[in-house]
Amino acid sequence: MRVEVKKVDTTKRELKLEIPRERVTAALEEVYKDLAKYAKVRGFRQGKVPRQVLEAEHGKFAQEEVIKKLVPETYGEAIKQENIAPIDMPEIHDVALKDGILTFIAKLDIRPEIKIKDYKGIKVKRKSSQVTDEELNKTLEFFKKGQGQDKEVTIDDAFAHGLGYPNLEEFKNVLKRQLELDKDRHNRADIENQIIEDLLKKTKFSVPESLIKKHFDRRLNDWKQRLKEQGMKEEEINKHEAEVSKNLKESAQKDVQVYLILDKIAEEEKMEIKENENLPAKVMEFLLKEAQWEAVN
């Protein structure tokens, strides 16, 4: 088997394969052997059809079967032989079986080479999750305005009773704790985003288009499905698809970049990721522990 490897760019490779006549002939022999057992041809008993008749009646089918067998088989051997690690299934082009020789081209994406440094000790600023009286009062104002009703609501013990609390003070305490939890979640997301932006700034590499497309397609399908479940018609969804697609494409590219960076960090740190574990979450936990924290108001 002859294999030529062409480097299209940093993440794309093109393999030209030529399968010799001897191997193609051997594969054809196997196909015809099976055909001889089961093929039905008028004028002959099953299992007794002569080879030349089988070739005349089922030659095209036999060649198709050989191609279906040898293309994936030899592609697998080729990437192993050339020490290539694809990140997805290849695109197969220009398949030809001529004069007993099989040739085809396989186009594939490989994992980009990522050089990452200074991922430990990233500086992050953590805002306080404490809720001020002013923030609490602003939230109470929302209740006072009747949550969209025409008249204002008197905020007192009776109001708290209506929400299932013994008095106004207890309701304020519960509301404050809830606001603190909300701020805490927001602040956690904020420091994770600081780490991600720092990593993206330091690490530049080409992202394979096939990965971006796969992630984009999944997100676009999820978006369409959500709108359908909400009762939006197909025509209305299609009107907004172009605008939404642009944002989703940018978001998908960033998501893939971040995943590949975190995956590289896991490799550098020799992290063992179990089957039920989330790789990005585990790496982020490690980065948060290694980060340099600064508290801000």
Q: What is the CATH number of the domain that holds 72?
A: 3.30.70.1050
Residues 155, 249 within the same domain: yes
What pLDDT does 285 receive? Answer: 95
Q: Which of 109, 132, 147 is the last residue of a domain?
A: 109
Q: How far apart are CA 47 and CA 279, in angstroms?
A: 56
Domain, as residue range, for 18: 2-109
Q: Are the beta carbons of 271 and 286 closer than 8 angstroms?
A: yes
Residues 102, 130 within the same domain: no
Residues 182, 76 within the same domain: no
Number of domains forming the structure of the chain: 2
What pLDDT does 43 receive? Answer: 66
Query: Residue 6 — φ and ψ, nearest 5°?
Result: -115, 130
Q: Can you list the positions of beta strands (E) in the chain?
A: 2-7, 12-19, 91-98, 101-109, 123-127, 292-296
**Does 164 map to a domain?**
yes
**Does 132 map to a domain?**
yes
What pLDDT does 264 receive? Answer: 93
Residues 211, 95 within the same domain: no
Residues 275, 161 within the same domain: yes
**Does 140 map to a domain?**
yes
Residues 290, 158 within the same domain: yes
The distance of Cα 262 from the centroid of its chain, to the nearest Å, equals: 14
| Residue 41, both tokens | 């041809």
Residues 102, 177 within the same domain: no
What pLDDT does 46 receive? Answer: 67
Residue 123, judged by CB atoms within 10 A of its CB (0-12, 13-18, 19+), counts as exposed
What pLDDT does 47 receive? Answer: 65
**Does 115 map to a domain?**
no
Residues 18, 164 within the same domain: no
Residues 128, 232 within the same domain: yes
What pLDDT does 122 receive? Answer: 96
Residues 100, 144 within the same domain: no
**Does 118 map to a domain?**
no
Question: First and final CA of the chain: distance in angstroms?
Answer: 67
- Which residues of the chain are under the pLDDT cut of 50? none
What pLDDT does 132 receive? Answer: 92
Residues 152, 91 within the same domain: no
